[in-house]
């Protein structure tokens, strides 16, 4: 019977090389000593990924990713699009970019700059239009202390899950009379429950113990009250996960004083944007934190703190860590765990060694020098 099971697994793996690594582990356990760790699978074939370099230093960071992928022989082909609000004449149409992401299921994206269009009446940014076109409702930013990066707090490990299709970023504003602007904040039970369920499912899948709902329901009793109520209702479906609530202003104070108390945080749109950036500062800044935006059908991987760093364009000083970690997360997502771990471990080695540091981490190394240091640590 054991021989039959092993043969079945071998047939499955040979016929379907993208079968999850659980099959590989099962085959290994049945044929070798349980003390030996199972090898990570290296699926055959190639994966196509939509690539949006973004504005500011985004193209430089994306070049670093491409160089690392090339050196690691990562079986990924990029489908690039110039997509920008700063240079709209040269930008690819939103429909083309959205179709590519929907087709490929994954996208590696730099940060898009948002110009001031208040004088034109255009309220929705290109980022907002892309999120709504693909229904990228859940933004996930994993804020974790990195080896060799000294900060005020160590051993920080929190996940911020942000609803990003409504709230204050609904682009519903108007000047009702001269000098008086009304800005509508949209909160729905459907989307609040959806993001709450996403947060609890994430906690279960990633062996997290606690979910914290961040709100301001003491003041915005109806809008944030609905978000809070939705999270409370969903929490009852997950009795094994500890649930707590925290007012957003207290949350920011608690994060800078004792960030280790947080595990998974679920927030409305505006609060999540603020907390993402605050938390990124706790572990080294915008250059070291990766993020991703999820819909039911696709994922866009992008830095967790959304800054274009436009003042550094062409100076070769930007830190590629965040973009490389985004790329590693993307590879793990598409069952290329072997390559994702290779890149993640190489970045960790460079940071831990401390000899090659970009300016944001207190060093004088260039973007290219950091990239080549990662490449030298790949194998």
Degrees (nearest 5) of the Cα angle 246, 250, 254?
95
State the Cα–Cα distance between residues 350 and 328, nearest whole angstrom. 15
Tell me which residue range forms the domain holding 311. Answer: 47-145+288-379
Rounded to the nearest 10°, the torsion over CA 267, 106, 308, 155 is 50
Last residue of a domain, one of 256, 282, 308: 282
pTM summary value: 0.85
Q: Judge if 139 and 169 occupy the same domain.
A: no
Q: Judge if 310 and 357 occupy the same domain.
A: yes
DSSP reduced 3-state for 292? strand
Q: Judge if 133 and 171 occupy the same domain.
A: no
The answer to whether residues 104 and 48 touch, using CB atoms and an 8 Å cutoff, is yes
Could you tell me the CATH number of the domain that includes residue 360?
A: 3.40.718.10
Last residue of a domain, one of 215, 248, 282: 282
Residue 179: how many other CB atoms lie within 10 Å: 6
Q: Judge if 204 and 124 occupy the same domain.
A: no
Last residue of a domain, one of 282, 303, 330: 282
Q: Judge if 108 and 79 occupy the same domain.
A: yes
Q: Judge if 70 and 114 occupy the same domain.
A: yes
Q: Judge if 310 and 341 occupy the same domain.
A: yes
E strands, 126-254, in order: 138-144, 157-163, 173-177, 180-183, 210-215, 242-247
The answer to whether residues 83 and 129 touch, using CB atoms and an 8 Å cutoff, is no
Q: Judge if 124 and 180 occupy the same domain.
A: no
DSSP label at 93? P
Q: Judge if 277 and 294 occupy the same domain.
A: no
The answer to whether the Cα torsion of 81, 84, 89, 90 is positive or negative is negative
Domain count, the chain: 3
Q: What is the pLDDT along the chain (379 residues), one digit of tens a residue?
A: 343 344 434 434 444 444 444 444 434 433 333 344 444 555 678 999 999 999 999 999 999 999 999 999 999 999 999 999 888 888 999 999 999 999 999 999 999 998 876 555 678 889 999 999 999 999 999 999 999 998 989 999 999 999 999 999 888 888 899 999 999 999 999 999 999 999 999 999 999 999 999 999 999 999 999 999 999 999 999 999 999 999 999 999 999 999 999 999 999 999 999 999 999 999 999 999 999 999 999 999 999 988 888 888 999 999 999 999 999 999 999 999 999 999 999 999 999 999 999 999 999 999 999 999 999 999 7
DSSP 22-87: HHHHHHHHHHS-TTSPPPPP---S-EEEEEE--STTHHHHHHHHHHHHHHHT--EEEEE----SSS
Q: Judge if 122 and 227 occupy the same domain.
A: no
State the Cα–Cα distance between residues 236 and 8, nearest whole angstrom. 41
Q: Judge if 67 and 87 occupy the same domain.
A: yes
């Amino acid at each position: 019977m054991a021989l039959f099971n092993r043969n079945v697994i071998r047939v499955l793996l040979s016929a379907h090389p993208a079968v999850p690594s659980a099959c590989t582990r099962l085959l290994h356990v049945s044929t070798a000593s349980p003390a030996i760790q199972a090898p990570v699978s290296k699926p055959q074939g190639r994966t196509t990924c939509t690539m949006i370099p973004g504005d500011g230093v985004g193209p430089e960071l994306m070049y670093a990713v491409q160089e690392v992928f090339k050196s690691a022989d990562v079986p990924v082909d990029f489908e690039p699009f110039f997509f920008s609000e700063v240079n709209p004449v040269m930008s690819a149409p939103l429909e083309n970019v959205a179709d590519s992401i929907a087709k490929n299921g994954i996208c590696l994206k730099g940060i898009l700059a948002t110009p001031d269009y208040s004088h034109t009446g255009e309220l929705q940014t290109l980022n907002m239009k892309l999120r709504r076109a693909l229904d990228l409702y859940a933004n996930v930013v994993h804020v974790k202390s990195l080896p060799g990066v000294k900060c005020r707090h160590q051993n920080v490990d929190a996940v911020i899950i942000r609803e990003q299709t409504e709230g204050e970023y609904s682009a519903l504003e108007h000047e009702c009379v001269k000098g008086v602007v009304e800005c509508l904040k949209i909160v729905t039970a459907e989307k609040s429950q959806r993001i709450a369920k996403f947060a609890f499912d994430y906690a279960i899948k990633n062996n997290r113990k606690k979910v914290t709902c961040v709100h301001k329901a003491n003041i915005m009793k109806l809008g944030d009250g609905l978000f809070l109520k939705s999270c409370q209702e969903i929490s009852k479906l997950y009795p094994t996960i500890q649930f707590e609530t925290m007012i957003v202003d207290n949350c920011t104070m608690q994060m800078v004083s004792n960030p280790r108390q947080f595990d998974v945080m679920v927030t409305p749109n505006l609060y999540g944007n603020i907390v993402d950036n605050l938390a990124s500062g706790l572990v080294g800044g915008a250059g070291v934190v990766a993020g991703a935006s999820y819909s039911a059908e696709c994922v866009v991987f992008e830095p967790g703190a959304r800054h274009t760093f436009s003042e550094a364009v062409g100076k070769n000083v930007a830190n590629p860590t965040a973009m490389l970690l985004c790329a590693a997360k993307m590879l793990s997502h598409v069952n290329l765990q072997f390559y994702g771990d290779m890149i993640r471990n190489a970045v960790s080695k460079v940071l831990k060694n401390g000899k090659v540091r970009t300016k944001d981490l207190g060093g004088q190394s260039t973007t290219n020098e950091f990239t080549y240091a990662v490449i030298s640590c790949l194998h």
